[in-house]
Amino acid sequence: MKVKTLKGRPIVPGHCRGKALVSMKPISFLGGVDPDSGLIVEVGHDLKGKSVKGTILCFPHGHGSTVGSYVVYSLVKRGLGPKAIINQTADSVVVVGAIIAEIPMVDQIDIQQIRTGDDVEVDCSKGIVKVARRRQK
């Protein structure tokens, strides 16, 4: 197994491991993620139908209403939130949501270096993301 280390900017401190769920499209938590199921419901989104629950959620940035911050918080309180958030560029809606929900978060990461299903370890206190990709057979 090959491990790649990426360095970014710490946003919300924390450390965890999990499976990556990666999108190259922005995510709107208000209207794009169902707060009752944790499923991405945004029409035309590449992750439509996928659950954010327990994932290391990787996407370029958020978009949409500031109410999206509360949706992030609500997901965590219901046990449906991601373990961590990795962004290329942090935006205020996602940052506030991660802060109030205490979700480890880092940005300034090239998410094109991560694939859905990769094993990811994040140390958001140091801005370190370790990506383990199993070799293709």
Separation CA 64–CA 4 (nearest Å): 32
What's phi and psi for 92, nearest 5 deg?
-60, -35
Amino acid code (one letter) for 97: G
* Catalytic status, residue 65: yes
Question: Model confidence over 62-87: pLDDT tens digits?
Answer: 998 889 999 999 999 999 999 999 99
Q: Which domains does the chain have, with CATH numbers?
A: 2-133 (3.50.30.10)
pTM listed for this prediction = 0.95
Determine the pLDDT at residue 1. 74
23, 37, 65, 125: the catalytic one is: 65
Determine the pLDDT at residue 65. 87
User: Pairing between strand 119-123 and 15-22?
Assistant: antiparallel
Helix (H, G, I), strand (E, B) or coil at 96: helix
